[in-house]
Each structure stands twice: as C-alpha cells, then as structure tokens.
Amino acid sequence: MINLELPKKLETLQKMTHQVASNVFRPISRKYDRIEHSETSPEELVPVAQMIQGARASGGGGGDQGQAEGSVNGANLAGVVGMEEMCWGDVGLMLSIPGQGLGNAAIQAVGTPEQKERFGKLYCAMAITEPGAGSDSAAVKTTAERDGDDWVLNGEKIYCTAGQRCDAVVIWATLDRSLGKAAIKSFIVPRDNPGMKLARVEDKMGLRISDTAALSLENCRIPAENLLGSPEIAETEEARKKAFGGVMQTFDNTRPQVAAMALGLARAALEMTREILEKEGVSADFSKSLYNSSALEAELYRMEADLDAARLMTWQACWMADNKQPNSKQASMCKAKAGRVGNAITLKCVELCGELGYSEEHLLEKFARDSKIIDIFEGTQQIQQLIVARQHLGLSSRELK
C-alpha cells in the first residue's frame, strides 16, 4: 500500500527543486511570458539543465529506494515531486529546459540500449498530433515506408512542444493506414534532418516561452535503426492491441508528470491568493469548520482539499509504475483530476483577488492562462475519462467510443 508521506530522500529533492523554482524561474517568469518565438531556450536555464544532467549521471534525483514489504520509490515518484516544485515556479520555463522533452521519455521507456546511448542526451520532442488526428492517437496519417536500409516519412505534425528548439523529434507514423492503430510506430528524426522542416511556431494564450511548432515531413529519410520498437506489424487482433499498448506505454509515465505540472501551478496560485487575502484580513487557518467559515475561507478550504486529492492520486500512479504495477487507469485518473482542478483553482484565485488577480501586478492572471493547456495536452479531459471508463468497465476502444 502506498505511504501517504514522502521518504526523506525525496524530501531533499523537493527542497532542491523548489530552490531552483524560487530563485531561477519565478524572478524571470514575467520577463519570458512577454517573449515568444525565441529560437533558443533562455540562457538562465542552461545551468539548470547541466545540474539535472549531472544529478542523473551520478544516480541522484530519486533512484530506487527500498522500503517496507519491498516497495520502491523510484524515478517516477521522484519525477513528479520535482515537476510540481519546478512548475510552482513556471511551467513554460520548465518545459524549455534543454534536454527535458517528451521524446526523451519515449526513448527511455521503449528505446534499445543503443538508442538510449545515442539519443538519450539530446533534447528530444515528440510529435503525435496532426490536423486530422488530435486526441485520437490511432488516427495518425503520417506514413513511414521502408526503402532498403532507411525509413521514408511523409506527413504533417502540429502542436509539437519544443519542436523548434529540440535536437530530435520522436515522430508517430503509420506503416499501413488500413490497419489503424496496430501499424503505428515511433521514429527518431534529427531536427536538422533533410525532409523535415519547421512550418511555423504558434502564438499561444499561455506557456508563451515554451515553443509549440508545426512540422512538415516530405520524403524524410532516416536510418532503419531510428525506429523505436519492432518494425513488424502484429498478425492477430490480440497481438495488435498489445503492440499499440507498448506504443502508448509512454503516457502511463508522462501523464502523472503532466498532472504534477497542474499541481505546481495550482499550488502557486493558491499560495499567492492566500498571501493577498491575508493582507485584507482573511486568514483560512482551518481553525473553524467549513460551515462556520466565511465564503472566502470556504472556497480556500475546498481548493486545498481538491489539490491534496489530486496530488495523492498522482503519487499513487507513480508509485504503481515504480513497483511495476499496471497504472494506465490511475495515470489517466490523476491527469484528468489534476488538469481540471488546476484550471479551476487558478481561475477561482483570479476571481477571489479581483483587480489584483486580473492585473499584471501579480502572476495570477498568467497562472490562469498557463493552466488551460495542461487540461488539454497529453489527452484532453474527455479522453482521460473515456480511458478510465473503458478500464473500469472492461471494454475495448471499439466497444466504448
């Protein structure tokens, strides 16, 4: 059973990442909110990237830690603890740290030792979404055809986080459109590879410093060894489900990470709101019951409760992953809960603080703008609820759409 308290090793990590968020991210948050389409990551983030790489090389930052009954708190739980703290500082800046792309997570999840060695230290984005394939990952139309010792990719990708600044992109493409999700594979494409071009960088409501790109692939040729996983298409329906499940395995690790983004952002907004309201004489210190409190105090209590519930769900999903337990349902549950709660809390904080919440005097309005996309990317609220329903009812994607 999951322990509801963090082990001391992760408390140390929590404090360290909070210092980075407080001393590096938060002071430059507004500055970089006003800057878009920078071709390189902010220079202030270079030492942060070096620090993270050094910690990983030395085995720090949440290695396996034995506990009672053989349970383990490892990389997944450590990742969400650090993620929440960094996103307390600024989500967009966290996403702009060199070497921290979603493609890196995919390579670590399903890559061969040779691929991890070759690409693991690069800044790798991941491109799934297409003009006609959003939350339905199985609807990918970008094609990959084998030509001798190469793969040739053709198609268009949109909303690719870090697609402008990255060193490489993990591209989702299909080997045979008629076979649907069974034929979808992932390919590692260097960013400067001939045939892959940057079509545009999007203007956005939030996370403005984090680049979001559209990419076009026209006869983009890559070596055969850049394929993640097997090149074979499963012959039976059961084997095809298992194969696509392997492709989707990345999300079981990354959806809790996205949930942690929402947790950090919501906590930042809630703490700032408490500080603003305390100056006006409103102090929600839990000394009174919910029904004996003022309307403002009751709102703060409810938000605290929702935030704690989302955090515990996120920790559970990560604990299960670290202990080799299937966590697909829990990963979707925590992402759905945290994404919804994060957006609701930041908007409510703007409302409760009135003019101070809406103006740029504080960061509350920025937190509200940044929060919405967290409820959308890596699978929308509706998609997560659909996944949970399928898992709970024991139905397939064909049976419950």
Specify if 3 maps to a domain. no
Q: Which residues, 6+ apart, have CB-to-CB distance to 335 below 8 Å? A: 255, 256, 258, 259, 378, 379, 384
Decide if 2 is inside a domain: no
Q: Domain end: 106, 141, 170, which one? A: 106
pLDDT at position 62: 46
Residues known to be catalytic: 378
Regarding whether 320 and 190 lie in a shared domain, the answer is: no
Inside any domain, residue 117: no
pLDDT of amino acid 240: 54
Q: What pLDDT was estimated at residue 378?
A: 86
Asked if residue 352 lies in contact with residue 344, where contact means CB atoms within 8 angstroms, the answer is: no
Query: Into how many domains does the chain fold?
Result: 3
Q: What is the pLDDT of residue 67?
A: 43
Which structure tokens are listed for 282? 């409103």
- Phi then psi dihedrals of residue 266, to 5 deg: -65, -40
Q: Are residues 174 and 244 in the same domain?
A: no
State whether 242 and 229 are in the same domain.
no
DSSP 66: B
Q: Does residue 253 share a domain with residue 337?
A: yes
Do 388 and 246 share a structural domain?
A: yes
> Which domain, by its residues, includes 353?
238-393
Q: What is the pLDDT of residue 287?
A: 81
**Residues 167 and 81 grouped into a single domain:** no
Give domain status of residue 74, yes or no: yes
CATH code: domain of residue 384: 1.20.140.10
Check residue 178 and give its pLDDT: 86
Half-sphere exposure of 273 (CA within 13 A, CB side): 30
Intervals of the chain under pLDDT 70: 1-3, 56-71, 135, 234-249
Looking at residue 374, what is its pLDDT?
96
- The whole-angstrom separation of Cα 268 and Cα 47 is 23
- Shared-domain flag, residues 322 and 375: yes
Same domain for 153 and 215?
yes
Q: What pLDDT, on a 0 to 100 scale, did the predictor assign at position 315? A: 94
> 385 and 243: one domain?
yes
**266 CB contacts (<8 Å, ≥6 apart)?**
303, 307, 310, 338, 341, 342, 345, 346, 371
Domain assignment present for 1: no
* CA gap 264, 350 in Å, rounded: 16
**In this predicted structure, what is the pLDDT of residue 194?**
94
Any domain includes 398: no
In order, the DSSP letters of 320-342 are HHHTT---HHHHHHHHHHHHHHH
What is the model's pLDDT at position 123?
92
Q: Do 231 and 258 fall into the same domain?
A: no
The reply to whether 115 falls in a domain is no
CB 256 within 8 A of CB 317: yes
Could you tell me whether strands 168-174 and 150-161 are parallel, antiparallel, or unpaired per DSSP bridges?
Answer: unpaired
Considering the domain architecture, whether residues 245 and 383 belong to the same structural domain is answered as yes
pLDDT score recorded for residue 88: 98
User: Do 86 and 179 have their domain in common?
Assistant: no
Domain boundary residue, one of 217, 235, 253: 235
